[in-house]
Structure 1
Amino acid sequence: MISTFLQLQADTLAQAIPTVDKANAALTNEVSVLEFIFKGGLFLIPIAILLFYTIYLVFERYLYINKAAKIDNHLMKDIRTHLNNANIEMAVSSAERAGNAQGYIIKEGVLTIGRHIGEIEGNMERAANIEIGYMEKKLGQLGLIAGIAPTLGFIGTISGVIKIFYSISVTEDISIGNISGGLYEKMISSGAGLIVGIIAYSAYHLFNGKIDNFSLAIQKQVLEFVNIIQRPHGHKAK
């Protein structure tokens, strides 16, 4: 009797060990992120392309806008000094050395000194609009990606769900494992699309905010420049 009981216990343990091994193997596969991502389907390919292009745009625009939108408070002091000394050439050189949008805009103002004040302001505003246009270049693509990437993800999920229900209609297998197993794989594309969309959307608005700040700052610079050339002891515009 005792020997029979021990034999049953041994058989139970022998059957339990493979089950534990399978559970551990399943857990290992679940932790494998790369394999998990690859189960998302073909729609992950265009989403991945959009991700890499978004990263490129974010770095490229950040470097350009960060340099172009920089405001040097010392530049206007140098311009004031040169104009008060009636040294137009040195004022132009100082503006060129700035190497940013502010310098280009101030330079356009210096070159039009002697004209009507309205012409000077108009010329500087046009130069500012050109520089802002350069900063906004490619930002529309980020906005487009912010809308396209999540849509691609949802399409991938919907197509996967359609395949799951088609498979059920053919095999008549409506087990929870069959449905949930296929569904979680297709939801990966939705998650990936949302992540790319969030990155593009956030970058788009952050860059636009930085450009808006530059636009406000450069308006102050234009006003300060006009005040400089209208000072009684400065270089007057006729």
Structure 2
Amino acid sequence: MQAVTDTLSQITDTASRAAQQLATAPPPELRFGDLLLKGGWVMLPLGILAILALVIFFERYFTIRKAAKNESQLMQQVRGSVLSGNLDSAIAICRNSNTPLGRMLQKGLLRIGRPIKDIEGAIENIGKLEVAKLEKNIGILGIVAGIAPMFGFLGTIAGVITIFYNISLTDNISMGAISGGLYQKMITSAAGLLVGIMAYVFYHVLNMMVDKVILKLETDAIEFIDLLEEPSK
């Protein structure tokens, strides 16, 4: 009888220690990957939008950066050829440069002999086309910045509706039942805001880069027109 009592006591003590360990055990850590999986189906379109924004940003960034490189050497070569009367050489230099400024100057050189206003108009039209090429797909980043947070909020609202629908079925309105599902659904809102902020920053960074390129092209175009007017002064 004593042995049975001792055994029961040991079992009780073991169960008590196990309960204390469980009670004092730290809560499981929230891992980033687990959070993304708990976000639900909305995380798929948000992931696609994030990848789209990154691809457009880096593709446009390197394209605009290439167009923004210093073209002072090109201007010097064109100036030397024009002043020496060798227009064919100047046109060849512009063609081989394969840059927005080179194409603008080439169009102007091909119009030499016509009134200055016609040359300015031709250069301006080519400049608009080159700027449009640089701005290609940048507007998509603005769209992503607008709709990504909406997708996030949509996922959260859909999750909240599901939570309260389940509560109506089970009649369980405990705080744990509500908060346990709600924190998972808030993940979509956070992800949507993150993607939206990223796309918003990318959009404005690229626009600022394009503005700098436009200013540089306009400055070089004015310098070119002044060069053509020099012989007539």
TM over 0.5: yes
Q: Is the 8 A contact 1:61 1:135 kept in 2?
A: yes
Q: Structure 2: how far apart are the matches of 1:206 and 1:58?
A: 9
Q: Is the 8 A contact 2:82 2:90 kept in 1?
A: yes
The 5 Å alignment of 1:88-237 reads 88-232=87-231, 236=232
SS of equivalent residue, structure 1 residue 41: coil
Deviations 1:157-202 (A, max 9, x none): 0111111112222222121211111111001111111111111111
Which AA in structure 1 matches 2:168? S
Q: Structure 1: how far apart are the matches of 2:50 and 2:198?
A: 9
Q: CA RMSD in A?
A: 2.0
Q: Structure 1: how far apart are the matches of 2:135 and 2:160?
A: 39
Unaligned runs of 5+ in 2: 1-5
1:125 Cα deviation from its structure 2 partner: 0.3
Partner of 1:17: 21
1:63 correspondence with 2:67 = no
| Greater displacement, 161-170 / 113-122 | 161-170
TM-score (ref. length: structure 1) = 0.87
1:96 Cα deviation from its structure 2 partner: 2.1
Q: Structure 1: how far apart are the matches of 2:15 and 2:158?
A: 46
Q: Is the 8 A contact 2:141 2:199 kept in 1?
A: yes
SS of equivalent residue, structure 2 residue 176: helix
Q: Structure 1: how far apart are the matches of 2:196 and 2:53?
A: 9
Deviations 1:55-101 (A, max 9, x none): 11111111222112334122111111111100111111221232211
Q: Structure 1: how far apart are the matches of 2:19 and 2:70?
A: 74
Partner of 1:27: 28
TM-score (ref. length: structure 2) = 0.89
Q: Is the 8 A contact 2:67 2:213 kept in 1?
A: no
Q: Is the 8 A contact 1:121 1:226 kept in 2?
A: yes
Aligned positions, number: 225
